[in-house]
Amino acid sequence: MTTEPVRTQRVSLRAELVRLGTRLIIKPASRGRSLAASRKTFRFMAHLAPPPPRGTKTTHIDAGGVPAESIVRPGALAGRHVLYLHGGGYCLGSPANYRHFSWRIADAARAPVLAITYRLAPEHPFPAALEDALAAYRWLLARGVKEIVVMGESAGGGLTLALLMKLRDENLPLPRAAVAISPWTDLALTGASLTDNADADPMLNVEDLPPFAAGYLAGSDPHDPYVSPLYGDPSGLPPVLVMAGGDEILRDDAVRMGEKLRRANPQSDLQVWPRMVHAWPLFATVMPEARAAIAEIGAFVARQAGARDI
């Protein structure tokens, strides 16, 4: 299943170099790697992340029992907040891996970013990550935040959508909007792009997904909407921006979910960017397309979460 890409201009040389680098280094290195080795690499990479610019205030806080980083940039609007849920297959990563990126989201959204350290599988399988995301969201509500945007990439994108459904089902105040970048929405692994894009995807290996899914599921039904939001009912959800790269193995996770969201809410948007690697906005330090995607996110937030203040 495909959709017309939002971008048709020539892909930048830097993007092509990122594709080449991920294909030559990341994709073969991650194939079959143990979880312990992957975690060690993620911890090492966190130390290499470029620091945010001067004027950025980063604070370690307890967000309703969930460890988190608060990232605040000059110009943040009062009463608005971004809740960021990182990716990593539900088994890897922390906010420290995103310090080169979270400040850019804070700038684009003109809002503080709360990046949480949710519990990781397999030590803490489903529903631990969802419980932590819900606890942090409740914490923001308790602090009187009026405009919340939930955002995440990869597994964090799927967790973002699962959280929306959980909030709706529990009759809690919904966020103004959400953003899901390259979301993993189907842990049953049924997307055609898993096969169609297996060779084209320059970063992800199809065979790496089942162990991550099994670690998070721990026997749970992969069709549970709180695990795989693709199988949930999106009615009543706020506007969601779904973004994916055209060559990703997870492209159809994004496309199928995005199409369901658009049918339920015409203010939702689905964007497929040609030749972009998985979660390409994270490459904003080197790729113009990543910076353009972040600008798109900022524009979407402005439209949905309080354009009157921009």
Give me the DSSP letters along the chain. Answer: -----S--SPPPHHHHHHHHHIIIIIHHHHTT--HHHHHHHHHHHHHHSPPPPTT-EEEEEEETTEEEEEEE-TTPPTTEEEEEE--STTTS--GGGGHHHHHHHHHHHTS-EEEE----TTTS-TTHHHHHHHHHHHHHHHTT--EEEEEEETHHHHHHHHHHHHHHHTTPPPPSEEEEES----TT---THHHHTTTT-SS--GGGHHHHHHHHHTT--TT-TTT-GGGS--TTPPPEEEEEETT-TTHHHHHHHHHHHHHH-TT-EEEEETTPPTTGGGGTTT-HHHHHHHHHHHHHHHHHH-GGG-
Does the structure show a pLDDT above 50 at 307?
Answer: no
Tens-digit pLDDT profile for residues 239-298: 999 999 999 999 999 999 999 999 999 999 999 999 999 999 999 999 999 999 999 999
**pLDDT score of 233:** 98
Does the structure show a pLDDT above 50 at 119?
Answer: yes
Domains, the chain, ranges and CATH?
Answer: 13-309 (3.40.50.1820)
Tens-digit pLDDT profile for residues 25-52: 999 999 989 999 999 999 999 999 899 9
**pLDDT score of 7:** 55
- Average pLDDT in the chain: 95
Active site residue 268: no
Active site residue 81: no
Report the pLDDT averaged over residues 173-191: 98
Active site residue 69: no
Phi, psi torsion values for 241, nearest 5 degrees = -100, 120
Length of the chain: 310
CB atoms within 10 A of CB 142: 9
Tens-digit pLDDT profile for residues 120-139: 999 999 999 999 999 999 99
Helix 155-169 with 128-142: angle, nearest 10 deg: 60
CA-based max dimension of the chain: 49
Does the structure show a pLDDT above 50 at 1?
Answer: no
Does the structure show a pLDDT above 70 at 237?
Answer: yes
Does the structure show a pLDDT above 80 at 228?
Answer: yes
**Of residues 153, 248, 289, 296, which has the active-site annotation?**
248
Tens-digit pLDDT profile for residues 52-102: 999 999 999 999 999 999 999 999 998 999 999 999 999 999 999 999 999
Token pair for 243: 């973004």
**Of residues 81, 86, 124, 278, which has the active-site annotation?**
278
Task: Give Rg (Cα) of the chain.
Answer: 18
Does the structure show a pLDDT above 50 at 14?
Answer: yes
**Of residues 154, 182, 193, 228, which has the active-site annotation?**
154
Cis peptide bond prior to 52, omega within 30° of 0? no
Residue 168 burial (10 A CB sphere; 0-12, 13-18, 19+): middle
Cross-strand pairs, 151:
84, 179
Q: Which of 228, 272, 275 lies closest to 254 in space, CA to CA?
A: 272
